Amino acid sequence: MLKPRKDVVWLQVPFSSLQNDHKSDTTLPNGKNYGFPPSTMPIVANKIWAAKNPAAAKLFAIMEIPITDINAQNLRMHNGEAS
């Protein structure tokens, strides 16, 4: 398995060349430009459930999951874990 930041690196581009209605400048606040906008994965919940569980809904609204945790979960699924 390749390890992020050790075995693989993100390639950068000198400028963005997106088409249609996409943001034309994809330079990140740290000055790096990968040529596409960052991907986000928001947490979603059923509106009725969220109304009945306001503390959980608030947590979902402010929570951020580190990419290393997402990678670890994907590896567990890849290795056959199903629960």
In this prediction, residue 58 carries a pLDDT of 95
Confirm whether 83 is domain-assigned. Answer: no
Number of domains observed in the structure of the chain: 2
Q: Is residue 6 part of a domain?
A: yes
| Whether residue 7 sits in one domain with residue 35 | yes
Q: Is the dihedral of CA 3, 6, 8, 10 positive or negative?
A: positive
Shared domain for 35 and 51, answered yes or no, is no
20 and 4 in a single domain? The answer is yes
Q: List the pLDDT tens digit at each of the 83 positions of the chain.
A: 788 778 998 899 988 877 765 557 888 889 999 888 777 778 889 999 999 999 999 999 999 888 889 888 999 999 999 87
- Host domain of residue 7: 1-39
